[in-house]
Copies of this chain bind each other. A is one copy, B any other.
Amino acid sequence: MEESVKDKVRQILTEYLQANGHRKTPERYAILDTIYSIKGHFDIDTLYHYMETEGNFRVSRATLYNTIVLLIDANLVIKHQFGTSSQFERAYRNETHHHMICTECGQVAEFQNTTLREAIGSIKLKRFTASHYSLYIYGICSKCVKAKNKKTNNIKSK
The smallest beta-carbon distance between A103 and chain B, in angstroms, is 7
Tell me if B134 and A138 are in contact (CB < 8 A).
yes
Chain B minimum-CB-distance residue to A111: B125
Asked whether A4 is an interface residue with its Cβ less than 8 Å from the other chain, the reply is: no
Chain A: interface residue total (CB-CB under 8 A): 35
A142-B126 Cα distance, complex, nearest whole Å: 9
Chain B minimum-CB-distance residue to A72: B103
Known: A131-B139, A133-B138, A138-B131. A113 touches B123 (CB 8 A): yes
Asked whether A38 is an interface residue with its Cβ less than 8 Å from the other chain, the reply is: no
The smallest beta-carbon distance between A42 and chain B, in angstroms, is 17
Tell me if A133 and B137 are in contact (CB < 8 A).
yes
Asked whether A120 is an interface residue with its Cβ less than 8 Å from the other chain, the reply is: yes
